Structure formats: C-alpha cells, structure tokens
Amino acid sequence: MSTVSAGFRLVRAGWVLVREGVVAALPGEELSGLPKFGWRLARLFTRRRALAYERSDRLAKAVVRLGPSYVKLGQFLATRPDVVGNDMALDLAMLQDKMHTFPTAEAVAAIEASLGRKLGDLYKQFGDPVAAASIAQVHAAETVDGGVARKVAVKVIRPGVRRRFFQDLESYFLAARLQEKYIRSSRRLRPVEVTETLAQTTRIEMDLRLEAAALSELGQSTREDPGFRVPSVDWERTGRDVLTMEWVDGVKMNDLAGLEAAGHDLKAIAANLIQSFLRHTLRDGFFHADMHPGNLFVEANGTIVAVDLGIAGRLGKKERRFLAEILYGFITRDYLRVAEVHFEAGYVPRQHNVSAFAQAIRAIGEPIHGQPAETISMAKLLTLLFEVTELFDMATRPELILLQKTMVVVEGVARTLDPAFNMWRTAEPVVSGWIAGNLGPRGLLTDARDGGKAMLALIRQAPELAARTERLSREIDLMAEHGLRFDEATARAIGKAEARYSRSGRVALWVIALTLVYIAWKLL
C-alpha cells in the first residue's frame, strides 16, 4: 500500500507540473519517441494563463501547490543540467524557500514542547513571524540574561512537516527505482543514491539541534576569516524544534538597491563570497550548502553573514585535493593533469584512455578561456562536463552533489552583484594558495605525519587483524572443499524479496497509467 500511495502522490505531482507549464518549459524539441509524445501531451494540458509566465514563475507556482519538499527537490535538480537543461537548472538553482507562515500560537506550542518551559520564562518579547521557509519560520524575539537585553531570531519547525516530507520521499524513491529499472541510460546518474542523499540532508535539516551545531562549527572555523561570519547560537533556548540565535542587522544580498544605497562595493562582495566559499570547502572540508541570496546578509562594514545552515556539505581530504587540482588545472589550462586527477579519483573507469579524456577536457576548457569574463560560467562548465563524462562512462558522485549545487548557486549570486564577474580569476588565489600549502613540501610533511599515525594505529590492531585473517583462511578452505551453499530459508527469502520488488513496480506502473487515463477522460 505504501508503494501505491507513493504512486498516487507521484501522479499528482506530475499533474501539477503539467498544469503549471513546468513540463512544457523543458527542452522537449530535442526528445524523440515516447518522451517527446509525452512532452507534447503536457503542452496540451497546460493552463493557458501559465504559458504567459516566465519559466521561473511557473516553477514557483508549482512549488507552492506541491509543498515544501519540492523546493528541496528543485534545488537538488539544479545540479543536473544534463537532465533538465542548463536554463532550467539555473532557474532551479535560484529557487528559494518562500512559503506561507503558520500561526504564532502553533509556534509557541512547538517551542514550549521542545524546551519544556513556558514562553515567558524563555523570552521577554516574542513577535510575529518575519520569514517563512519550507521547513521552518523565523520570529523576532528578545531575551534578557544577566540584566542585558538582546534581540534574537527564533527559528521554529513547521507543524507536520516531517510526516509530509517522509511521504514525498517515498514518491521520490519510487520514481528513482523505476527510472533505474526501466531507463538503462539513466543508471550512471545513480538516481536512487541521489535520492538517498536528499533524504539524509532533509532528515538532518529537520533537527534544529544539528543546525545549531553546524553554525557553531562553521563559526569556529571561520572566526579569523576576513569579511565572513555566521550568527552565534543561544544553546539554552535551542532544541529539536526550535533554534535561537543572534539577530543579524544587515541588508539581504538579493536587495541590490539596498546594498548600493548602503554604499557597499558589490564587486568586492561578489569576490568575497566566492573566495569565502572556496576557503571553507578546501581548507575545512565543511561548507554552507544553501547559499542562495535570501540566506546572505551584508552588515554595515561589508561583512557577509550567512544564516539558515540546515544544509551543510562535507568533503574528505582526498576529495578536496581532487577538487583543487581539477579547478587549478582549468585555471592554468593543464588539461592532462585534470584528466589524470579524474582517473586517480576513480571518477572515470580505467578502461578509457587518459589522453583521449584530456582531449575532451581541452574541448571544454579552451572555449571558456577564450570568452569574455561575463560568459565564463561554472554552470556552463558543469553542463559541458556532464556531456563529456557521459561519453567516458563517468557515474554520478553522490558526495559531490551538494558541492556542485552550491557552486552553481554561489556563482549565480555573485553574477547578480557583478555581471562581469570572472569566476576563475577570483578563485585562483584561494585554489593556488591551498595547493601550495597542501601539495607542496608542507603538504608532504603533513601527509607523512598522517601516514605515521595511520601506521601506528595499524600496528596496534595487528593481533586482532591476524586473528581475523586466520578465521577468514579457515572459511575459504571450507568453501573450497565443500562449495558455497545457501540454506533453504535464505533461498526462500531471496525469492520472496525479488517477487515483492517486481510486483510493487508493476502495481505502481498500473496505478500511474490508470490515473493518467482517468485524468484525460475527465478533461475530455
């Protein structure tokens, strides 16, 4: 029944996207066969007034009808320009969480239930909501500690949002499984793994204690950084459903007129934003992964303050090295090194030729270097990379999805501040500085120290490893002598699982097909 209900929700979502003209806005002229027929059919069922709207407005209206989880889905699809097209990906990347507010009384009930204290004991004043997003809304409030009054922002979870998200996630997983099973060419995109990444980040985002911890961690790692900070957390007034933090006085980064009126240098802010993001990513391996302009404020002294850290990204040391070398290779036009890094990272299967892949990378990099600064786009680079890597069987890397999404969004914000923004020239000091410090002599010393620690840990585990090796050797000898056998219960369980999976897929497809037929019949 879970699969059937997920199928119904999936059909409803598809119908809303059709009626609001979102499907009609996709690049369908390049399709063929059944997909193109479906695209043409979608155009017939699009509301007439929807055709008059811009594509971004169609998306916004569809998201309002579908609910909060589809905002997150749209932001994730922004990293897949090879699927939705580059123009649609740019619209999705700038999609912001703007939802209707919920009553203050419900927010008060959530705060008191989460913290176990009355509102009057926590806050001297508690105002109406000042902003609302897909998962939570924010209230202005005032606290008094030690006789000192302080203005704070109070973020409160939206009632019922967890149940709604988990229901919609069932639909996403159903769509991903059907896509992997029936669309062979999509398997390299790993739709199920991508959906799992979305599910995990959403679960984390809906526990405001984890957002508070992320704010604390990012605040600690950036306390010496010039021109960037995050608000401090009031831990006494923070729980699973409520987060109290410092109130930020500044101009939102999507208010260009306000920034100019305040006398800010927009080009300097754009450069600071990109360099701060790259510094966090490469140096710390921990970055704000939802840096749309609604989450960024500029204080009077030009400092950027990032709020809403519900989604954070992490990269290991190895992934950071690969990222830095790939970016630096494009900056210095060392395409052979870019290709070698892809192979070293395991991004491209070994059966392909490194020089041939370097040639394909050159076909991407050279045109970008030959263009004016205002046309050199990270989103365009990622689109070209997706096209080339498909030829070389490169699979989607789930650990890089948040990074790709955030790079596109941050560059888009920088370009609204400075239309002639040059991503590569701005990134070069941070990237080259990181490479000099981590891949040069100092980096070798650090790697040697880390290697020594790993070797010491391995020596300490030597007795246990020897015992495991001995047990494994005995098991292999028994398998060689008697063969690998399943007991009857295991074989029966595997058969039932396979039958259930196939049956669920068929039921879901029939539900979707019958629902579409019913909708078409009602309209005709």
157: three-class secondary structure by DSSP: strand
| Distances in whole angstroms, Cα of residue 181 to Cα of each of 93, 153, 171, 251, 481 | 28, 46, 15, 48, 38
- Of how many residues is the chain composed? 524
Which amino acid, 413?
V
* Helical H segments across 150-265, by residue range: 161-182, 191-205, 208-221, 256-261
Residue 20 phi, psi (nearest 5): -85, 0
- For residue 295 the two structure tokens come to 């989450």
Query: In terms of C-beta distances under 8 Å and separation of at least 24 residues, what long-range contacts does 425-432 make, across chains too?
Result: 425/373, 426/270, 426/271, 426/274, 426/275, 427/274, 427/275, 427/278, 427/327, 427/331, 428/331, 429/275, 430/275, 430/278, 430/279, 430/282, 431/278, 431/282, 431/324, 431/327, 431/328, 431/331, 432/328, 432/331
Asked if 143 and 122 count as a contact pair (C-beta separation under 8 A), the reply is: yes
| Distances in whole angstroms, Cα of residue 277 to Cα of each of 175, 334, 406, 407, 430 | 33, 24, 9, 8, 10
Name the helix (H) or strand (E) containing 297: strand 296-298
Residue 102 phi, psi (nearest 5): -115, 160
Q: Is 290 a catalytic residue?
A: yes
DSSP, res 262: T
Which amino acid, 388?
V
Largest Cα span, the chain: 82
| Distances in whole angstroms, Cα of residue 212 to Cα of each of 59, 78, 272, 283, 384 | 31, 26, 24, 21, 37
329: left (phi > 0), else alpha (psi -120 to 50), else beta? Answer: alpha
CA dihedral 17, 21, 27, 28 (to 10 degrees): 80
- For residue 249 the two structure tokens come to 């006085």
Contacts of 18 (CB under 8 A, 6+ apart): 24, 42, 45, 46
Which residue of the set 91, 241, 290, 308 is catalytic? 290
Distance CA 370, CA 221 (A): 37
Q: Which residue has the tokens 């003209």?
A: 21
Which amino acid, 89?
A
Annotated catalytic residues are 290
